[in-house]
Amino acid sequence: MIDSAEEFVRLRFSDDPEEYGRASSEPAAPDVWREVIEGYPEARFWVAHNKTVPLEILWVLADDPDPRVRSMVASKRKLTLDLLTALAVDPDASVRLVVARHKSVPRDVLEQLRTDSWEEVRDVARDRLACSH
């Protein structure tokens, strides 16, 4: 278990593969994740990358100013329908593209993305809808 924001940052930016592996696979308490998010903006992507990060923290990261962080959130398998739906209207097309490709994206969200402003998002949504018939 990761016990502090400082520990997470040290592990993640370590040159030791075992240590940065721990940063992607070990849990931390929600207050530790919040401390990382608030104190170490350069580590937010890696918080979203962690396999154990809870949904309550993914909701916080879904509003991150960095589209790379939001894209990482959108790629998580554990996303709830409401979080996927919220990310489907993200201002950044790359985030919407990740949503369109998400394994669990519901049909109504794909229908919405079928008229996206970015052609690649539209194409992925159309292809996924065509395959679901």
Q: Which of 33, 61, 89 is the last residue of a domain?
A: 61
Report pLDDT digits (tens) over 50-91: 999 999 999 999 999 999 999 999 999 999 999 999 999 999
| 53 in the same domain as 21 | yes
What's the total number of domains in the chain?
A: 2
Please give the single-letter amino acid code of residue 96.
R
Identify the bridge partners of residue 2 per DSSP, sorted by sequence position: 28
| 90 in the same domain as 130 | yes
Instruction: Tell me what pLDDT residue 60 has.
Output: 98
Tell me the CB-side half-sphere exposure of residue 32, using CA atoms within 13 A: 19
Q: Which of 21, 43, 61 is the last residue of a domain?
A: 61
The two tokens of residue 48 are 């979203």
Q: Which of 39, 35, 78 has the alpha carbon at shortest distance from 59?
A: 78
Instruction: Tell me what pLDDT residue 14 has.
Output: 97
| 75 in the same domain as 56 | no
Q: Which of 18, 34, 61 is the last residue of a domain?
A: 61
Report residue 132's pLDDT band, with 50, 70 and 90 as the boundaries.
confident
Q: Which domain holds residue 28?
A: 1-61
